[in-house]
Amino acid sequence: MLESIVQRGRTATQRNRALSMLGINHSLDKARIGFDESERANRQALRELRRTEQRPVVKAVLGGTKQRTIFSAGNTQKLPGTVVRTEGSAATNDVAVNEAYDYMGNTYDFYWEIFNRDSIDDAGMGLDGTVHYGKDYDNAFWDGKRMIYGDGDGEQFERFTKSVDVIGHELTHGVTQNEAGLIYWKQAGAVNEHISDVFGSLVKQYVNRQTADQADWLIGAGLFTPNVHGVAIRSMKAPGTAYDDPVLGKDPQPAHMKHYVNTLSDSGGVHINSGIPNKAFYLASVNIGGNAWEKAGLIWYQTLTEQLPVPGLSDLIKRTTQFIPFAQATVLVAQYLYGGNSLEAQAVHAGWSEVGIFV
């Protein structure tokens, strides 16, 4: 989107602002890759311990206590900023502060209640978030330590604390960072983005108590101003249809491997080609039915975290995992959890096949 604004922005201010944000995002991508590499040994040791223990998926005795701290950068880029709300304190008069606090809490509750995961690192990590980052900043992101939210430019984008699924998406980058540690490049990066879209959408469905059939499967609905011709930044149900705007351009996401986009921009198309596995997850979820977080979500979570002793899983989930190995891993987990000929395993297999990923 930012590249489109640089090329098609209506004003010089709009174009320059997008160009500046591209530079910030490029630095962030490099930081993500570097952080992954530095933590690789710790993650591998933890995952090996889990496989050795073969720990069951049961409710833990301890945990379940949120520790949120919200900061304000005051429209600067100085982090973390000034503390404006802490865990248990009353709501403020700042809607962005309250949204960040509430939606980070919703994401924590989702992971705890559904997957028995105690925060981002599964060890009770405090959740820090900084609002009012930069001036007219069109993004929200996880920087490896905290959530950071821009206010939007008011022309194309509203404030980035508005959507619970966006906050769930970004915090899930922290979960992936602490688990598979997928690199942020090409197909592995697209799987990384896909995982964040999956759990961001599931957080929203969990909060709204929606079944797979009831959900809109949109990521970032409500972020666009009325000036934009679009409904969201991505659609998992129908990749490529979320927006078609004179400034932002047309949603570039493919929904099938025959339309896979080879590019060096966007870290090799991580936000573009993630549409393909997104569609596969959507198809699997609706074919299974019910609440998507209960079965399809569980399959994807167990694939990411490798908590179950699924034969062959550790050979498939690596930092550089591509679409086919990831798809194979989800099928193995589905078969382990529900049986080889189960509805669940067949739905997962069919979802991947329908987007041109054959396992």
User: Which residue among 132, 173, 194, 271 is the active-site one?
Assistant: 271
CB-based contact 167:197 (threshold 8 Å): no
Residues 203 and 130 reside in one and the same domain: no
* Cα distance between residue 66 and residue 118, in whole Å: 9
| Best CA proximity match to 17, nearest among 150, 169, 146 | 150
What is the per-residue DSSP string for 41-87?
Answer: HHHHHHHHHHHHHT------SS-----EEEEE-TTSS-SS-EEEEET
E strand or H helix that includes residue 142 = strand 140-142
* Pairing assessment for the beta strands 147-149 and 140-142 based on DSSP bridges: antiparallel
225 and 291 both lie in a single domain: yes
| Domain shared by 41 and 158, yes or no | yes
**Judgement on whether residues 248 and 124 belong to the same structural domain of the protein:** no
Strand (E) or helix (H) holding 149: strand 147-149
**356 closest CA partner among 326, 328, 331, 324:** 324
170 given a catalytic annotation: yes
Residue numbers of the chain with a pLDDT score lower than 70: 1-62
Lookup result for tokens 């604390």: 161
From 99, 155, 158, 170, the catalytic residue? 170
Q: How far apart are CA 164 and CA 166, in angstroms?
A: 5
Among the candidates 131, 152, 178, a domain finishes at 178
Q: Which of 149, 178, 207 is the last residue of a domain?
A: 178
Residue 211: give its domain's CATH number.
Answer: 1.10.390.10
Residue 359 lies in a domain: no
Q: 61-89 as b/e, with b when 16 or more CB fall inside 10 Å?
A: eeeeebebbbbbbeeeeeebbeebbeeee
192 and 136 both lie in a single domain: no
CB 182 within 8 A of CB 40: no
- Picking from 178, 197, 218, the residue at the C-terminal end of a domain is 178
Distance CA 272, CA 251 (A): 9
pLDDT tens digits, one per residue of 108-134 = 999 999 999 999 999 999 999 999 999
Q: How far apart are alpha carbons 353 and 215 in whole angstroms?
A: 23
The count of structural domains within the chain is: 2
Residue 172 is assigned to a structural domain of this protein: yes
Nearest to 72 by CA among 148, 131, 158: 131
Report cis status (omega within 30 of 0) of the bond before 80: yes
Mean pLDDT for the chain? 89
Does 266 lie in the same domain as 148?
Answer: no
Return the pLDDT at 64.
Answer: 86
What is the spatial distance between Cα 71 and Cα 73, in angstroms, rounded to a whole number?
Answer: 7
130 shares a domain with 201:
no
pTM for the whole structure: 0.89
Distance of CA 194 to the CA centre of its chain: 7
Cα distances (angstroms) measured from residue 96 to each of 76, 104, 153, 163, 345: 15, 12, 14, 11, 41
Domain presence at residue 34:
yes
Question: What was the pLDDT predicted at 26?
Answer: 44
Rounded Cα distance, 133 and 152, in Å: 10
Structural contact between residues 67 and 87, judged by C-beta atoms closer than 8 angstroms: yes
Judgement on whether residues 164 and 253 belong to the same structural domain of the protein: no
**pLDDT of the residue at 19:** 44
The domain spanning residue 69 has which CATH number? 3.10.170.10
Q: What is the pLDDT of residue 63?
A: 79
Q: Which domain holds residue 58?
A: 2-178
What is the three-class DSSP state of 230? strand
243 and 137 both lie in a single domain: no
Same domain, 95 and 145: yes
What 3-state DSSP class applies to 129? strand
Question: Are residues 201 and 147 located together in one domain of the fold?
Answer: no
* 304 and 235 fall within a common domain: yes
Closest CA to 200 of 340, 321, 104: 104
> Could you confirm whether 179 is annotated as catalytic?
no
pLDDT given at position 135: 96
In 10 A of CB 356, how many CB atoms? 17
Within a domain: 261 = yes
